[in-house]
Amino acid sequence: MAEYINSFVHPNAKIGKNVKIEPFSYIAENVEIGDNCVIGPHATIYDYVTIGDNCKVFPGAVVGGIPQDLKFKGEVSYVKIGNNVTIRECATVHRGTEASGKGITTIDDNTLIMAYAHVAHDCKIGKNCIIVSFSGLAGETDIDDWAIIGGNTMAHQFSKVGMHAMIGGGTLIGQDVPPFAMAAGAHPILFEGINIVGLRRRGFTAEQIDNIKAIYDIIYNSNLNTTQACRKVEEEFPECNEKRIILDFIKASNRGIIRPRKKDK
């Protein structure tokens, strides 16, 4: 059974099995919390939040706050948290807005939001991501599966980070970061190569990694513009999952992908 200790839990909130809600936490009416979750002391879960199973919300975290978006007019909007998600101390996750056309902020399974990080309205964070402490994701930022956002990183509104990408600490994300990439830089953010260590840890073969490197060598080092480089990759590389992920991401980018670091002569 759920355990409430000196906390406010609205009687209409839906609380799963074996949930522990620690002292001085606040759980609003339109909240659903799955099984085996722990809500730490002084955590706040506002209305229209759904939290999956086996999640942990640490002290001082705020989930479901109304967005800091001047287009928000008080409409019903949502936060959806997947399973096995951890939200550490004083992190904030805001609801979506109707004006975005989404109206929901999502954090998918097995993701870690570290202390003092901020996830703004209508952000979409995939599975197995890590958002490191003091990072801020502006509204409608998309972070794909397995991406890692380094500490003190700021993402511009509408930015996108591809799967398995790794962003260095203190980076300003002003353009889209393609899949499998490593990127860093205060201004501008730059392509630093591919995330070889991360890919190896996740079971990518040497052949897959070499293929990704070869694709990016054309995109960044062939003196072709992005459209021409993508056409060359499409024509010259056999069809494979990594090729399709990279090309589909680049073709869907509205802000354009990050540039490479210039090599010393």
Q: What is the mean pLDDT of the chain?
A: 95
Count of Cβ atoms closer than 10 Å to residue 222 Cβ: 12
pLDDT at residue 187, rounded to an integer: 80
Query: Do residues 213 and 192 make contact, with C-beta atoms less than 8 angstroms apart?
Result: no
pLDDT of 239 strictly over 80? yes
Q: Confidence band (pLDDT; 50, 70, 90) for 1?
A: low
Alpha-carbon Rg of the chain, whole angstroms? 20
- Catalytic residues, by residue number, are 121-122, 139
Burial class (CB in 10 A: 0-12, 13-18, 19+), 103: middle
- Of the ranges 77-86, 148-157, 184-193, which one carries the lowest mean pLDDT score? 184-193
Which domains, and CATH codes, for the chain?
3-140 (2.160.10.10), 199-260 (1.20.1180.10)
Whole-prediction pTM: 0.94
